[in-house]
Structure 1
Amino acid sequence: MLDHVISAILVIVGVINFVPVAGVLSSAALAKAYGIDPPTGDVLVLLRHRAVLFGIVGGFIITSAFLTYLQGAAVVMAYVSMLSYVQLAWNAGNELLSIKKIDVVAILLLSIVPVLWMMTEIRA
């Protein structure tokens, strides 16, 4: 049962990380997601590349929900990605507040996983 809860959490966190991949195809999607004017030039390239990287991170987290031997690496990757963004965004001020909130929720969800791992070990 706990394994299913862990998998569900990882899928949710993975989807949260994967969603920005839509920005690869559309500057309008990037503008909507970040609440900015449609990016152009170098900023567009950087934001599209960021979207690709989020796709990789999100895809890996989702994959780890089904391949348990990847879960440790996926949890560390997710923590580093989301915590670093929240810290950087926090230092920058209140811009992108909604994205910070989503990442904080995902971090809190992800924080349940190590507790569930320990509970699984105790039961074994």
Structure 2
Amino acid sequence: MNKLIAALLLVAAVIHLLPLAGVLGGERLNSLYGLTLDETNLQLLMRHRAVLFGLLGTLLATAAFLPGLRPLALGAGLLSVLSFLLLAWGEPGYNAAVRRVLLADWIALACLLPALALHLWQGRTLSG
């Protein structure tokens, strides 16, 4: 069960690490999100977003190998994914690139929810 939890966390980690490429600048951000981010301030904010995703992805990957970090990683990952899915639900006019981001978040959710359930089940069986 521990290996399955780790595998699920690693899939979610990779999904969250992919946007880290946006740190490289506007061209990379444009290709990631299908937008023209020509404004310097917007690029700076999006590059910072990429750093935050890198931090979350690193936490998820680390939690795959350090079970003590799993509650924090699962909580942060689920908050990130669910918040974006809820925000997107209220905005139906997104482009194809953002649709790919949504699909990736659905996949991350499909990994994080069973990882959470298995983690909770594992804790229950160890204490009971």
After TM superposition, give the deviation of residue 90 of structure 1 in Å. Answer: 1.7
Query: TM-score by structure 2 length?
Result: 0.88
1:4-23 Cα offsets, whole Å, 9 max, x none, are: 01001101101100111111
Give the SS at the match of 2:36: coil
Q: Deviations over 1:32-78 (max 9, x none)?
A: 11011243311101110100000011101101111100000100000
Q: Counterpart of 1:52?
A: 51
Which residue identity does 1:107 align to in structure 2?
L
Query: Pick from 109, 112, 117: which aligns with 2:111?
Result: 109
Report if the CA contact (8 A) 2:25-2:43 is conserved. no
- 1:62 and 2:61 are equivalent in the alignment: yes
Which TM-score applies when normalising by structure 1? Answer: 0.91
Structure 2 equivalent of residue 22 of structure 1:
21
CA distance in 2, matches of 1:119, 1:42: 45
Cα shift readout 1:65-101 (whole Å, capped 9, x = no counterpart): 1110000010000011111111112212241212111
Unaligned runs of 5+ in 2: none
List structure 1 segments (4+ residues) > 3 angstroms apart after TM superposition: 121-124
Summarize the alignment of residues 1-124 of structure 1 with structure 2, pairs less than 5 Å apart: 2-95=1-94, 96-121=98-123, 123-124=125-126
Structure 1 regions of 5+ residues with no counterpart? none
| Whole-angstrom distance in 2 between the partners of 1:122 and 1:74 | 19
> Do the aligned residues in 2 keep the contact of 1:61 with 1:74 (CA within 8 Å)?
yes
Cα RMSD for the two superposed structures: 1.5
Contact 1:30 1:39 in 2 (8 A): no
Aligned residues: 123
Identity of aligned residues (%): 32
